Structure 1
Amino acid sequence: MKKIVILLSVMVLAILAACSSDSSADKELETIILADAGWDSVRVHNGIAQTIIEEGFGYETEVTAGSTAATVQGHRDGDVHVYTEIWTDNIKEVYEEAIEEGDFEKVSVNFDDNNQGLYVPTYVIEGDEERGIEPVAPDLRTVEDLKDYPDVFEDPEDPGRGRIINAPSGWAVAETIDQKFEAYGLDETMNNFMPGSDSAAVADLVDAYEAGEPWVGYYWSPTLVTAKYDLTLLEEPEYDEEIWNETRATEFPPNDVVVTVHKDFPEQAPDVYEFLGNYETSSELTEEALVYMDENDADPEEAAKWWMQEHEDIWTSWVSEDIADKVKDALE
Structure 2
Amino acid sequence: MTAYHPRSPARRTAVTAAAAAAGLLLATGCGAADMTAQASPYAAAQGAKSVTLSVQSWVGAQANTAVAGYLLEHELGYRVDTVQVDEVPAWDALSQGRIDALLEDWGHPEQEKRYVKDKKTVVSGGENGLTGHIGWFVPEYFAQEHPDVTDWKNLDRYADRMRTPESRGKGQLLDGSPSYVTNDKALVKNLGLDYEVVFAGSEAAQITQIKQFAKERKPFLTYWYVPQWLFETVPMTEVKLPEHEEGCDADPEKVACAYPHTPLKKYLNARFAENGGQAAEFLKRFRWTAEDQNEVALLIAERKLSPQAAARTWVERHEDVWRPWIP
- Counterpart in 1 of 2:190? 183
Q: Which residue of 1 aligns with 2:248?
A: 243
- Taking the aligned partners of 2:234 and 2:67, their CA distance within structure 1 comes to 25
Structure showing greater Rg: 1
- CA distance in 2: counterparts of 1:78 and 1:158, whole angstroms: 43
Question: Which of 204, 211, 234 pairs up with 2:209?
Answer: 204
Greater shift, 38-47 or 239-248, is seen at: 239-248
Structure 2 residue matching 1:200: 3-state secondary structure: helix
Q: In structure 1, which of residues 88, 92, 97 is the aligned counterpart of residue 114 of structure 2? A: 97
What's 1:28 paired with?
47
Tell me whether 1:213 sits opposite 2:222 in the alignment. no
Shift of 1:211: 0.6
Aligned 8 A contact 1:29 1:268 in 2: no
CA distance in 2, matches of 1:298, 1:32: 23
What letter is aligned with 2:325? W
- After superposition, residues 97-176 of structure 1 pair within 5 angstroms as 97-101=114-118, 102-126=120-144, 135=145, 137-157=146-166, 160-171=169-180, 173-174=181-182, 176=183
Are the counterparts in 1 of residues 167 and 195 from structure 2 also a CA contact under 8 Å?
A: no
TM-score after normalising by structure 2: 0.80
Distance apart, 1:159 and its partner CA:
6.3
| Identity score, percent | 20
Shift of 1:121: 0.3
Equivalent pair of 1:53/1:59 in contact (CA under 8 Å): yes
* Paired positions, count: 282
Deviation at 1:294, TM superposition (A): 4.2
Q: Distance in 2 between matches of 1:158 and 1:99?
A: 41
Unaligned residue ranges in structure 1 (runs of 5+): 1-23, 127-134, 321-332
Alignment partner of 2:63 out of 25, 30, 44: 44
Cα separation, 2, equivalents of 1:167 and 1:36: 17
RMSD: 2.1
1:104 is aligned with what amino acid?
Answer: V
Deviation at 1:235, TM superposition (A): 1.0
**One-letter code of the match for 1:117?**
G
Distance 2:47 2:263 in 1: 30
CA distance in 1, matches of 2:273, 2:87: 23
- Say which structure is richer in helix: 1
One-letter amino acid matched to 1:229: V
Counterpart contact for 2:171–2:195, Cα < 8 Å: yes
Q: Is the 8 A contact 1:275 1:319 kept in 2?
A: yes
Given the two structures, how large is their TM-score scaled by the length of structure 1?
A: 0.79
Contact 1:147 1:185 in 2 (8 A): no
Task: Answer yes or no: is 1:265 the counterpart of 2:272.
Answer: yes
Post-superposition offset of 1:71? 2.3
